[in-house]
Amino acid sequence: MYLKNNIRRLLVYRQCLLKLKELGFEVIYSYNLGREASVSPEQVRKDFSKFGIKGKRKAGYEIDHLLEALDIIFKKDKDQNVILVGMGNIGKALSNYKGFAQHKIVICAAFDIDPSKQTKSYKIPVYPVEDISRIVKMYHVKIAIIAVPKPAAQEVCNRLIASGIQGIINFSPTNLKHPKNIFINNIDLANEMESLIYFTLNQ
Amino acid sequence: MYLKNNIRRLLVYRQCLLKLKELGFEVIYSYNLGREASVSPEQVRKDFSKFGIKGKRKAGYEIDHLLEALDIIFKKDKDQNVILVGMGNIGKALSNYKGFAQHKIVICAAFDIDPSKQTKSYKIPVYPVEDISRIVKMYHVKIAIIAVPKPAAQEVCNRLIASGIQGIINFSPTNLKHPKNIFINNIDLANEMESLIYFTLNQ
DNA sequence: TACATTTTGTTACTATTTTCACAATAAATT
DNA sequence: AATTTATTGTGAAAATAGTAACAAAATGTA
């Protein structure tokens, strides 16, 4: 697993900090943030410490300072262009998802094999899959989302990698074969449900 | 993190085994399955061993036997009813998602505050949020999906828990406050993208 | 039947992650 | 200014997870 937990926790802290800032807080203690993020205060301090983020003893952490530090870690100085392949159920939902904008994640183009979906009527222009390479190069895209049906996923993955994509988030419920310098984050919705069910029903 | 990796890996093995079975395999070695699931063979054996699943030395594992064992672990003897709250972008996509059926996960009802969405015209009947408690009790539902906008998520969460829901998969990008006997699996799509971007761009 | 080969199952080892404990220090109080 | 209090930062300990090594067992072969 390359998706280390401390990175994921930093992202959770970020969400919490934005919320707390909105509520008017300027300074926060590891204890408060931990409570908000469902994490122990020691864990919060360790996570920050690991990335050289400093607070002040007795005075906690300045929220703005934390957010700046997190912005640097997650390179939030500029928009991150990503592409989306597959405009079915999930693809459409992702193309409309408002949460990305706040993170400066921009889906700059989508792709589908179905010509009826290759239109400018969606928020995002939808191109034929053959255009992937051209668009990837044009916008210097490094990250792609796979939201195609299972049988098409591996082929799309190969095409993406051949076009220069380096990181893929895969919503197709299949394990993609890929060179090990490519990062893949699999989100299998049914498996996410299953693991929740497992832990819920086994107390 | 309660979502232990070995459980998640078992679910990945399951996907792989179904695929391999479809391809005509009847028996598999830890080496093959590991390759398919991007996991070391030792890890595969350890995972099975931990759950008392046995192979035969020199003869590997029978796929059907593995699938049966996994079905028992994940209680696949009967359908698992779940409810869905929020028929926006993501809610609609989930309500149409075909992957659940193969896992015997059935979204038996959906809920939304918007009366225009409270209709039988979707695949799944959509009720007003006030009906959650009634339906949860009627169908003995234990698991719910939250797919409402961030500001509504905590309130919906509270209502679900009050209605008897024990496990929640939360697509809303916020950390929900909850008693510790309730399981919550947060899927924050923007954070999933962010962590992928982080690992991709930091070699 | 004896021997070689292959693959599991498990134990021992290593690495990583989390928790604990507490010294260091900043702020508040007397 | 001295003392108390609160909170960080970190090193040590504990827990968890993953890797490696190898004996045990099943199969095949001479």
Q: What pLDDT digit, counting tens, does each position of A47-70 carry?
A: 999 999 999 999 999 999 999 999
What residue type is A101 in one-letter code? A
Residues of chain A positioned with their CB less than 8 A from the CB of B43 = none
Q: In angstroms, what separates the C-alpha of A148 from chain B's closest C-alpha?
A: 12
Other CB atoms within 10 Å distance of the CB of residue A63: 18
Q: What is the mean pLDDT of residues A108-117?
A: 95
Residue located via tokens 């006997």: B181
For residues B198 and A19, the answer to whether their CB atoms sit within 8 Å is no
A194–B169: do the CB atoms touch at under 8 Å? no
Asked if B5-73 and B80-192 have one fold, the answer is no
Looking across all nucleic acid strands, the nucleotide with the smallest C1' to CA distance from residue B46 is C9
**Residue A181 pLDDT more than 60?**
yes
Report the C-alpha gap between B28 and A203 in whole angstroms.
32
Average pLDDT, chain A: 95
Report the C-alpha gap between A12 and B187 in whole angstroms.
11
Report the C-alpha gap between A110 and B95 in whole angstroms.
22
Window B5-34, strand D contacts by Cβ < 7 Å: 5-6
pLDDT band at A1 (very low <50, low <70, confident <90, very high): very low
Q: What is the CA radius of gyration of chain A?
A: 20
Give Cβ neighbours of residue B47 (< 8 Å, ≥ 6 apart): B6, B9, B10, B13
Residue located via tokens 């929740």: A196
User: Quick one: pLDDT at residue B120?
Assistant: 72
Chain Cα centroid distance, residue B86: 17
Find the residue in B nearest to A100 (Cα): B190
Report the C-alpha gap between B165 and B170 in whole angstroms.
13
> Residue A137, by phi and psi: left (phi above 0), alpha (psi -120 to 50) or beta?
alpha
User: CA A33 → C1' D7, Å?
Assistant: 13
Window A20-79, strand C contacts by Cβ < 7 Å: 40, 42-43, 46, 56-59
pLDDT values of chain B reduced to their tens digit, one per residue, 203 residues: 445 899 999 999 999 999 999 999 999 999 999 999 999 999 999 999 999 999 999 999 999 999 999 999 999 999 999 999 999 999 999 999 999 999 999 999 999 999 998 877 778 999 999 999 999 999 999 999 999 999 999 999 999 999 999 999 999 999 999 998 999 999 999 999 999 999 999 96
User: Quick one: pLDDT at residue B3?
Assistant: 59
**CB B125 under 7 Å to nucleic chain C:** no
User: Quick one: pLDDT at residue B118?
Assistant: 84
Residues of chain A positioned with their CB less than 8 A from the CB of B44 = none
Give me the percent of chain A exceeding a pLDDT of 90.
Answer: 93
**CB A86 under 7 Å to nucleic chain D:** no
Q: Where are the domains of chain B?
A: 5-73, 80-192
Report the C-alpha gap between A48 and A10 in whole angstroms.
8
A194–B96: do the CB atoms touch at under 8 Å? no
Tell me the angle at which helices B30-37 and B5-22 cross, rounded to the nearest 10 degrees: 100
**CB B3 under 7 Å to nucleic chain C:** no
Give me the percent of chain A exceeding a pLDDT of 70.
Answer: 98
User: Quick one: pLDDT at residue B1?
Assistant: 41
Residues of chain B positioned with their CB less than 8 A from the CB of A100 = 189-190, 193
User: Quick one: pLDDT at residue B119?
Assistant: 77
pLDDT band at A36 (very low <50, low <70, confident <90, very high): very high
For domain B80-192, the CATH class is: alpha beta
Residues of chain B positioned with their CB less than 8 A from the CB of A1 = 5
A100–B167: do the CB atoms touch at under 8 Å? no
What residue type is B158 in one-letter code? N
How many contacts does A have with B, using Cβ atoms within 8 A?
Answer: 175
**Residue A19 pLDDT more than 80?**
yes
CA angle A127, A131, A134 (to 5 degrees): 125
Q: Where are the beta strands (DSSP E) in chain B?
A: 27-28, 61-62, 80-85, 105-111, 126-127, 143-146, 167-170, 183-186
B36–A143: do the CB atoms touch at under 8 Å? no
- Between the alpha carbon of residue A41 and those of residues A47, A144, A149, B184, the distances in Å are 10, 35, 42, 20
B5-73 placed in CATH 3.40.50.970: no
Other CB atoms within 10 Å distance of the CB of residue A107: 23
- H/E segment holding residue A138: helix A132-139
Q: What is the CA radius of gyration of chain B?
A: 20
Q: How many residues does chain B have?
A: 203
Identify the CA nearest to B9 among candidates A157, A170, A191: A191
Which structure tokens are listed for A31?
A: 């204890």
- H/E segment holding residue A127: strand A126-127
For residues B11 and A186, the answer to whether their CB atoms sit within 8 Å is no
pLDDT band at A3 (very low <50, low <70, confident <90, very high): low
- Between the alpha carbon of residue A50 and those of residues A53, A112, B2, B89, the distances in Å are 7, 42, 23, 37
For residues B28 and B20, the answer to whether their CB atoms sit within 8 Å is yes
**CB B91 under 7 Å to nucleic chain C:** no
Residue A172 DSSP class: S
Residues of chain A positioned with their CB less than 8 A from the CB of B193 = 82, 100, 103, 105, 143, 145, 169
A105–B194: do the CB atoms touch at under 8 Å? yes
Task: Using CB atoms, pick whichever of B193, B199, B201 lies closest to residue A2.
Answer: B199
Q: In angstroms, what separates the C-alpha of B18 from chain A's closest C-alpha?
A: 10
